[in-house]
Amino acid sequence: MSENSGMSMERKRYVIIMAAGSGTRMGERLPKQFLELSGKAILQRTIEVFVEACPEITVITVLPEDHVGYWKDYCYKHNFICPQIIVKGGITRFHSVRNALAKVPDGALVAVHDGVRPLVTPKFIAEMFDAAENLPGLVPVIPCVDTLKVLERKGDALVPVPGSSVDRSVLFGAQTPQIFHSEIIKEAYGQAYDTMFTDDASVVEKNGKPLTYVPGERLNIKITTKDDLIIAKAVLSSLL
């Protein structure tokens, strides 16, 4: 009887932490992933959740080329000693992910996660990785609760686009981490760039691979504006 008969081998786990955006919507000089959230950089908090969920995980951090030195300095000064493979970002999120995938072998599980989503929970990450062992691609989504309008700008005014209506019941917001069998996402990222590629699921689906959509976590917000930072602080203090 061979050593592995009767049990399937777990795939090695990787996470690509996307932090190569310039973060200008926050109106700060420092990109938002490096801003402090309750005493620690947002990016440090995000990485720590993955290491807590999967202590053996390989962390690949994608950074703006001109902030690699800043981040190395930050980790040293704050005694943040988590091993990380540092990758330089590209012109869009798509190009940043593609650069990072070059460091991931076939036969692994790879999560791609926005560096500015530090409120994802370790329990959710662990459950997603376990489920992804038997699924080629797993995407967390949350149902849309707002009423959505299709409007266009006419001078200073916003006016309805004639004939447009949106059925909210079929709309969902896609979150990260999205988790894939590495050979599937690597093949998908061999495609030419398309402006419709705003997340990894859209890239893999365009390449014809089926994905599984699962309920995400409503508190796993993408910190994008100053208001989001206030919300994130409140969430953290309510959890501590």
In whole angstroms, what is the distance from residue 100 CA to residue 141 CA? 24
Our finding on whether 18 is near ligand C5P (CB under 6 A) is yes
What is the footprint of ligand C5P within residues 114-143 (CB under 6 A)?
Answer: 114-116
Determine if the peptide bond prior to 31 is cis (ω within 30°).
no
Q: Which residue is nearest to ligand C5P (CB)?
A: 21
Tokens of residue 31, six digits: 């990109």
Q: Based on the number of CB atoms within 10 Å of its own CB, is 1 exposed (0-12), middle (13-18) or buried (19 or more)?
A: exposed
Our finding on whether 20 is near ligand C5P (CB under 6 A) is yes
Shortest reach from residue 223's CB to ligand C5P, in Å: 9
In whole angstroms, what is the distance from residue 44 CA to residue 34 CA? 8
Q: Which long-range contacts (CB under 8 A, 24 or more apart) does 25-28 make?
A: 25/224, 25/225, 26/224, 26/225, 26/226, 26/229, 27/226
Residue 11 DSSP code: P
- For ligand C5P, which is the closer residue by CB, 11 or 173? 173
What is the footprint of ligand C5P within residues 29-58 (CB under 6 A)?
Answer: 33
Our finding on whether 15 is near ligand C5P (CB under 6 A) is no
- For ligand C5P, which is the closer residue by CB, 19 or 221? 19
For the chain, what's the residue count? 240
- For ligand C5P, which is the closer residue by CB, 1 or 196? 196
Contact with ligand C5P (CB under 6 A) among 44, 58, 61, 96: 96
Shortest reach from residue 17's CB to ligand C5P, in Å: 8
Applying CB under 6 A, which residues contact ligand C5P? 18-21, 33, 62, 89-90, 92-93, 96, 114-116
